[in-house]
Amino acid sequence: MTGRLLAGLGVLTVLLGLLGLCLGSTGWIWLWHEGTDPVILWELRMPRTAGAWLAGGLLGLVGAIAQGLFRNPLADPYLLGSASGASLGVAAVLAVGGTAGAEAMAAGSWLLRLGLTGAAFLGAIAAVLLTLVLAQGLAHTLRLLLAGVIVGVVLGAVTSLLGLAVPAIAPALQAFMVGSTGLLGWTSVTLLALVLSSGLTVAILLGPWLDALSLGEETATSLGLPVTLLRSVMLAILALGTGTVVAQAGLIAFVGLAAPHAVRAATRLTHRPLLLASSLMGGVLLLGADLLSRWLLAPQELPVGILTACLGGGYLLWWMQRQGQGGQVA
């Protein structure tokens, strides 16, 4: 069953990728059509399609990590305020650069993209640490969730204040808030690929540790599992993955929450195949949403973050209703 699931996700990735290369602002144009411009394919559609899949893959990976680490099926990459911290880091870099920073962002500057990713990572790490301090650790799930909400709201307000203080960065910040794959270029693809490959490799190696942690912290400790080290490494992957996606594509909701759920709905897996399958599922979900965002209002585009929020919110409501009818809400 696991092999069929992974193969199916691989086939969907290829099919959606081909559709992404065929869909432009003027509608569908097949790759072999003589009117297809190679420059448009190479410079616009290919990096956007690849970047959307990689961003979705990262969100699916960190979503599965968050749910396994906190043993909560409703955990997502933005649980601990990491997205708000990443957004604040991005806003701070853009505010320092002012108009020049906004123009460099629009031009796809490699150095600025790298700097935004680093700032987003530091912001995400700082937000997670602040949430853990306020929640006094990971022992109390409810306190942790409340602390994450508080940190997210406060850091989001600070980000909005920076946008008001430096009007030149307002358009770029707006794009981050609604989530967009329209500005993804080869620079973004490279950064997303590096973070996804390294994060997925480390997470899969530590997959059995997450399996042991799912039995309970006391049981994991009795088995000799270094719980503190596991949490530190997984939180670092969580923050780096979230920060990278936010820096390159903005806030894209529900993909990290829905991808592991969709995999578990298909089959029961241990964490090693679950992490890989969730990453593939996240890529498929975001790439599919990106295609819809380009097609629904063509030639205009719908921000992909708005589309994933609507579809993901509907999925979450359906899942909670189904769990409630079954007499259990995980």
23 beta partners: 28
**What is the SS3 assignment for 253?**
coil
Whether residue 73 lies inside any domain: the answer is: yes
Whether residue 221 lies inside any domain: the answer is: yes
Q: Return mean pLDDT, the chain.
A: 82
Q: Write the Ramachandran bin of 71: left for phi over 0, alpha for psi from -120 to 50, otherwise beta.
A: left
Q: Name the residue with tokens 């995400």.
A: 124
64 beta partners: none
CATH number at residue 300: 1.10.3470.10
In angstroms, the Cα distances linking 105 to 40, 50, 141, 175, 301 are 20, 19, 38, 11, 20
Whether residue 319 lies inside any domain: the answer is: no
Whether residue 32 lies inside any domain: the answer is: no
Residue 190, number of CB atoms within 10 A of its CB: 17
Domains identified in the chain, total number:
1
Q: How large is the C-alpha radius of gyration of the chain? A: 20
Whether residue 2 lies inside any domain: the answer is: no
Strands (E) located in 11-64: 23-24, 27-28
Where in the sequence is the domain holding 67, given as residue range(s)?
Answer: 38-313
Encoded amino acid at 266, one letter: A
24 beta partners: 27
Whether residue 303 lies inside any domain: the answer is: yes
pLDDT by residue (tens digit) across 14-48? 999 999 888 866 666 766 555 566 777 788 889 99
pLDDT by residue (tens digit) across 240-281? 888 888 878 888 988 998 899 889 888 888 899 999 999 999
Query: Which of 286, 310, 314, 267 lies closest to 59, judged by CA?
Result: 286
Q: Does residue 136 surpass a pLDDT of 70?
A: yes
Whether residue 330 lies inside any domain: the answer is: no
Q: Does residue 298 surpass a pLDDT of 80?
A: no
pTM of the full predicted structure? Answer: 0.84
Whether residue 96 lies inside any domain: the answer is: yes
